[in-house]
Amino acid sequence: MVSPELSSHYNNSNHHYYSSSMAKRKAFPGLTDGFLFLGGAFFGLLLVWSFSSLSSSTPRFGSTVVQSDSLGVDGKKPVFPGCGSDGVNLRYDPPEETFYDDPEVSYTIEKKVEDWDRKRREWLKLHPSFIAGARERVVLVTGSQPKPCKNPIGDHLLLRFFKNKVDYCRIHGYDIFYNNVLLHPKMKSYWAKIPVVKAAMLAHPEAEWIWWVDSDALFTDMEFKLPLERYKNHNVVVHGWPKMIYEKKSWTSLNAGVFLIRNCQWSMDFMDTWANMGPISSDYAKWGDIQRSTFKDKLFPESDDQSALVYLLYKEREKYYDNIYLEGEFYFEGYWSEILPTYDNITEKYSEIERGVRTLRRRHGEKVSEFYGAQREQYLKDAGNGRWSWRRPFVTHFTGCQPCSGDHNQMYSGQSCWGGMVKALNFADNQVLRKYGFIRHDLLDSSSVSPLPFDYPDDGPWG
Ligand SMILES: *[C@@H]1O[C@H](CO)[C@@H](O)[C@H](O)[C@H]1NC(C)=O
Ligand SMILES: [Mn+2]
């Protein structure tokens, strides 16, 4: 039931041990409350300031969003086209030196970044338009191999998996990065993500979270939002189950194909430790042996990233357990063959709710989708979460299907993998398509698309 899609290794000699005070400390957020509070107060002042400038001689667009250029930090007149839609200033990088100017700071995983919390904070201070919202800012990172897929429909499938992530990010205002080169020649397949995530942390000091999502995973609830508040005292979030780690000792106790990681020093240290159980380590083979002797259900000999993560939690519980949130309440990612049979009933349940609630059928701008997602929640109270639930599964993960290579696990027929992916992709895409006025009537047939009929009530306001 498991895809040999993950791999890893571990290196005792290269292992970085932390001081015991560090180990005992609770996870610390990359940004301190005080700093954000000051940032908030600062923006409050700016808000007042920008309102007063609105009423002065030069008329501006009637936006209530704080425009970063109203900061005047660059001493220039406000320029609208330079601003991101969330009020950040994309045209301002002051001459003061930051970690980017420090030759000691390296993007590669071979050299650890030190004092990252301070470096990140200083960059933010020099780029104040990014302070508001910094604590919730997420960058989704994903990717695939540099070469064309061996599976004749592999590239088409990867395009659709990527489109799905782009759709999700557009709806929720997240940035997304797709990488398709190996950033370290030895860190291949399931290890390739670690160098990418580290590089993304350095490339995005404005983001609090980097969210790795495998190329073979897709969002199947386009409205659901990560409950970031729940993770505020943790630095890593993965789908997983403590009992499986500490009692069953299974390498599938968690799934490393989707994870959130806080952009902070703890994570830099953690990724260094994690990567050093991989092919860059001189003890790579040894880590494979250790994993296999610890997790009896692991069938292949090479150290893999997922077993490595389980091993860290298992072996150094005090150090990692408090920092790594094992999300088991909803499908942070979910196993496709368990989820696939539920799409039809879920579709029917949601339609049934929508037939009774006009607000949920109301046409709306895609940008305000989160409002309708929040409206829907009250009708999903009985839906449950995860297995046996009729809530749309958040992320469906085609573990073992290998859409690009086509070398799917022999326990599935190719047909169940490809058919399953098409159905999941269409199930998700229907949620997007309706915001553009269309719907697929048959989840397995994209030629079944037709315009959604106009569905406004003739008997009163939105129900
Ligand atoms: C779908 O719903 C029907 C009718 O309620 C039920 O009998 C069936 O077991 C459900 N299928 C799944 C996969 O949950
Ligand atoms: Mn995967």
Residue 126 lies in a domain: no
What's the pLDDT band for 454 if we cut at 50, 70, 90? confident
From 10-24, 212-226, 299-313, the region with the lowest mean pLDDT? 10-24
- Does residue 13 fall inside a structural domain? yes
Residue 58 has pLDDT above 50, yes or no: no
Is the per-residue pLDDT at 72 higher than 60? no
Q: Is the pLDDT of residue 13 over 70?
A: no
- Rounded to an integer, the average pLDDT of 68-85 is 44
Q: Whose CA is nearest to atom 12 of ligand 1?
A: 342
Tell me, yes or no, whether 51 and 179 share the same domain: no
Is the shortest distance between the CB of 345 and ligand 1 below 6 Å?
Answer: yes
Average pLDDT of the residues in 266-293:
98
**pLDDT at residue 390 greater than cutoff 60:** yes
Mean pLDDT of the residues in the chain: 85
Q: What is the pLDDT of residue 37?
A: 45
**Structure token pair of residue 114:** 């030190």
Those residues whose C-beta lies under 8 Å from the C-beta of residue 149, and which sit 6 or more positions away, are: 155, 157, 158, 403, 404, 405, 406
Judge whether residue 458 has pLDDT over 60.
no
User: Domain containing 215 — which CATH number?
Assistant: 3.90.550.10
Among all ligands shown, which has an atom nearest to the Cα of 349?
1
The residue type at 66: V
* 313: Cβ contacts below 8 Å, ≥ 6 apart: 245, 253, 254, 320, 321, 324
Residue 47 placed within a domain: yes
Mark whether 249 and 293 lie in a shared domain. yes
What residue's CA is closest to ligand 1, atom 1?
Answer: 345
* pLDDT score for 84: 53
Atom of ligand 1 nearest to the CA of 341: 13
Q: Report residue 455's pLDDT band, with 50, 70 and 90 as the boundaries.
A: confident
State the pLDDT at residue 20.
36
Determine the pLDDT at residue 413.
82
Ligand 1 atom, smallest distance to 388 CA: 14
Which ligand does the CA of 408 lie closest to?
Answer: 2
Structure confidence at residue 28 (pLDDT): 43
How many Å apart are CA 173 and CA 169, to the nearest integer?
6
22 and 41 belong to one structural domain? no
What is the predicted pLDDT for the residue at 410?
84
* pLDDT, position 51: 38
* Residues whose CB falls within 8 Å of the CB of residue 68, separated by 6 or more in sequence, listed in order: 83, 87, 88, 89, 92, 128, 129
Residues 55 and 173 in one domain: no
State the pLDDT confidence band at 19, using cuts at 50, 70 and 90.
very low
Q: For the residues 15-22, what does the mean pLDDT come to? A: 34
Confidence at residue 176, expressed as pLDDT on a 0 to 100 scale: 98
- Same-domain status, 298 and 411: yes
Q: Tell me: do 49 and 85 sit in the same domain.
A: yes
Range 194-204 average pLDDT: 98
421: closest CA among 215, 229, 196, 188? Answer: 215
**Residue 449 maps to a domain:** no
Do 6 and 45 belong together in one domain? Answer: no
User: What would the pLDDT profile of 87-119 be if each residue is shown by its tens digit?
Assistant: 899 999 999 999 999 999 999 999 999 999 999
Q: What percent of the chain has pLDDT over 70?
A: 80
How far, in Å, from the CA of 453 to the mean position of ligand 2?
37
Domain contains 103: no
Please tell me whether residues 23 and 51 are part of one structural domain.
Answer: no
Q: How confident is the model at residue 456 (pLDDT cuts 50, 70, 90)?
A: low
* Same domain for 413 and 311: yes
Give the pairing of strands 209-213 and 138-143. Answer: parallel
Q: Which of 200, 28, 191, 36 is nearest to 113 (CA)?
A: 200
Average pLDDT over every residue of 6-31 = 37
Least confident of 23-27, 186-190, 210-214: 23-27
Cβ(384) – ligand 1 distance below 6 Å: no
Amino acid identity of 6? L
Concatenating the DSSP letter of every residue in 230-257 gives GGTT-SEEEEE-HHIIIII--TTSEEEE
Number of domains in the chain: 2
**Claim to verify: residue 53 and residue 162 sit in the same structural domain:** no
* Mean pLDDT computed over 427-444: 96
Tell which wins on pLDDT, 191 or 459. Answer: 191
- Which ligand does the CA of 345 lie closest to? 1
Q: Is the pTM of this model over 0.85?
A: no
Are 419 and 352 members of one domain? yes
Task: DSSP letter for 191, please.
Answer: G
Task: Return the half-sphere exposure (C-beta side, CA atoms, 13 A cut-off) of residue 443.
Answer: 21
d(CA 55, CA 275): 55
Q: 233-237, 242-246, 409-413: which has the minimum mean pLDDT?
A: 409-413
How much is the average pLDDT of 449-462? 70
Q: What is the pLDDT at residue 273?
A: 98
Q: Is residue 257 one of the residues assigned to a domain?
A: yes
- 457 within some domain: no
pLDDT value of residue 457: 53
Q: How far apart are the first and last CA of the chain?
A: 45
> How many angstroms from the chain centroid is the CA of residue 119?
23
Band (411; pLDDT cuts 50, 70, 90): confident
Shared-domain flag, residues 278 and 178: yes
pLDDT at 64 over 50: no
Lowest model confidence (mean pLDDT) among 71-80, 241-250, 407-416: 71-80
Give all strands (DSSP E) within 63-126, no chain letters: none
Say how many C-beta atoms besides its own lie within 10 A of residue 370's C-beta. 13
**Is any ligand 1 atom within 6 A of the Cβ of residue 453?**
no
Are the beta carbons of 421 and 157 closer than 8 angstroms? yes
Q: What is the pLDDT of residue 380?
A: 97
**Any idea which of 12-26, 202-216, 270-284 has the lowest mean pLDDT?**
12-26
Range of the domain at 302: 1-30+137-438
**Considering the domain boundaries, does residue 213 fall inside one?**
yes
Is the minimum distance from the CB of 341 to ligand 1 under 6 angstroms?
A: yes
DSSP assignment of 308-341: HHHHHHHHTHHHHTTTEEEE-SS-SSEEHHHHGG
